[in-house]
Copies of this chain bind each other. A is one copy, B any other.
């Protein structure tokens, strides 16, 4: 597996390809072409081949790709060939939702600890997890070798939560709070903002209304 600068968009698409391949595999389909994948996920065939080319040669000229093999390759590339333990901070509505969300487990992500400093939440049970105070974080991280933290606290507490995660040696953070947080260079940080995509929709609906009204 080559190791060079891969566009983040490529990694995102790889994740989509991976899911598509899983579906084909479940259907019992054994071979796909870049064109099939492209059509299935809504990109160009050249894009599919180029994305894969960052990581190696997985196909057979004149034939296409073996579904099961390519599926496993993409999963391996994305790090989905083994389980990941997640630490989650914030036992509010969003935190609760993320804990009960089955999509994470399906991709090999397991939330192994939920933390909150709100006394009214500590001790509560979320499925088979008990909400712990933040002090218990190091212990759980150690126990499950967790490397990734998920922030599901209100915006005003997001930065301090990130700081604690960094102090506790987590290496990557997924932030659901709609606020910019700062972490040292060596920490991987990504934000998921649940309403940004909605705002893109409303932006586009707005553009559309303008066009109509100007006719």
Interface residues of A (CB under 8 A from B): 1, 3, 8, 11-12, 14-16, 19-20, 23, 40-42, 77-80, 84, 86, 93-94, 96-98, 100-104, 107, 109, 147-148, 171-172, 174, 178-180, 182, 188, 190-208, 210-211
Please tell me if the beta carbons of A180 and B41 are within 8 angstroms of each other in the complex: yes
Please tell me if the beta carbons of B196 and A79 are within 8 angstroms of each other in the complex: no
- Of B20, B78, B211, the residue contacting A203 (CB under 8 A) is B78
Please tell me if the beta carbons of A16 and B200 are within 8 angstroms of each other in the complex: no
Number of copies: 2
Contact residues in B for A15 (Cβ distance below 8 Å): 193, 195-196, 199-200
- Of B96, B109, B200, the residue contacting A198 (CB under 8 A) is B109
Please tell me if the beta carbons of B79 and A206 are within 8 angstroms of each other in the complex: yes
Please tell me if the beta carbons of B194 and A148 are within 8 angstroms of each other in the complex: no
Please tell me if the beta carbons of A100 and B97 are within 8 angstroms of each other in the complex: yes
Distance A14 CA – B84 CA, assembled complex (angstroms):
33
